[in-house]
Amino acid sequence: MSSSFDNRTEAGQRLATRLEYLRDQDVVVLGLPRGGVPVAFEVASALDAPLDVIVVRKLGVPFQPELAMGAIGEDGARVLDTDVIVQAGIRDEDIRAVEERARPELERRVHLLRTGRRRIDLTGRSVVIVDDGIATGSTARVACQVARHLGAGRVILAVPLAPDDTLRSFTEADEVVCLEVPRHFMAVGAHYRDFAATSDEEVARLLDAGAGPRVDREVEIPVGDVIIVGNLRLPRGTTGIVVFAHGSGSSRHSPRNRYVADVLDRSRVGTLLLDLLTEKESELQSNVFDIELLANRLVAVTRWLRARADTRPLRVGYFGASTGAGAALWAAAEAGVDVAAVVSRGGRPDLAGPRLALVQAPTLLIVGGSDLQVLAVNRSAQAVLRCPSRLEVVPDATHLFEEPGTLDQVADVAADWFAQHLLVAPGTAGARR
């Protein structure tokens, strides 16, 4: 028998196509841990919807555990099937005993999946419950019931595959979306080419990556009497954003800085690539090397970020290249700017002048080992810094890090630095420094 799906990722992508009609609606995607989460991640990503899990524990009839008489979920959620309870003659004390045995396991799963993450409020929203497939559908049934108990206005069950008899008897959801109904249904895993177990670590990673909306667009930032153009990217779930201050003769289209920004994006760090000068201003060489002007523009952009609802809570970092490093450090020393970290790539930190000693943000200086003049300047600048700092020398690299593999090292060490200083667990108090 040929497999219906290559893996959970492909199943989720195909399921997302079927659910495209939900785009732009007030939707929350809930994955059933563990295997349903990779499928749900693809759905949430395609719909640009927040991703969460729904943690439930079935309450089985004492003498027939596979038959559900109810379920428990987070925040004290508890649903009971009175028809089953009456027909099976189950006493209240029997229900309490089953729940007492089930509750510790539920709490363990909640603690594992919720540490640093708050449950998304479902009140009045359309909820899409996703699993990698259902057989009897018992867990999916109770998940739908618990979601409704938690306030969901509309419940949709979305699965890649299920047997026909289960689908026909599934009444707990307002709508059921299923891609395939195999004539000869076997275990769910038999219909996947790759059905490797999903780890708790993978679930946690996907939840972090899928939390909250994503932004990826060009923005216009008013600064005085000019408009600065930038490219803003906010990965789902990020708690930090890096503003790029380009060096002399460079722009937001710099392939080197765009490469670093892509690595930061994959590390769940937001980025703002921008031009601190207009095209006309950049024609004057004196503007390109006016560190104070560039720094003031950078401060204005930072305040613009603080005025936006989607970026206000984020920790801000600066990434400066060449002369842009001097502007980044000058701006970081400005009172009230509240910068959490700075990275300089092949930079001229000395151009920050006396402000260098006022910088408080942890600063990483990255220099090519063969860029001897700039390396000497950075060593002297680090001696002036009073903030936590580190000098990272990339062996055999020249000023532009054009040697094979050297820019990869720059991007990786910068991503680690920003992740350490900008990323905090969701729900942690004081997201900003």
Can you give the residue ranges of every domain in the chain?
A: 8-210, 215-422
Sign of the torsion formed by the C-alpha atoms of 409, 397, 364 and 276? negative
Cα-Cα-Cα-Cα torsion 407, 411, 416, 418, nearest 10 degrees, comes to 140
* The pLDDT of residue 200: 83
Strands 175-180 and 215-223: unpaired
Which residue stretches of the chain have pLDDT < 70? 1-3, 116, 211-213, 237, 247-250, 424-433
Domain 215-422 is of which CATH architecture?
3-Layer(aba) Sandwich (3.40)
Could you tell me what percentage of the chain is helix, strand and coil, using 3-state DSSP and rounding each to the nearest 5?
A: 40, 25, 35
Fold match between 8-210 and 215-422? yes
Sign of the torsion formed by the C-alpha atoms of 36, 42, 47 and 48? positive
Structure tokens at 238: 């990020």
Question: Which pTM value belongs to this model?
Answer: 0.58
Question: Closest by alpha carbon to 98, among 74, 73, 71, 136?
Answer: 71
Residue pointed to by tokens 């220099």: 367
CATH class of the 8-210 domain in this structure:
alpha beta
Angle between helices 8-18 and 36-47 (to 10 degrees): 40
* The pLDDT of residue 248: 63
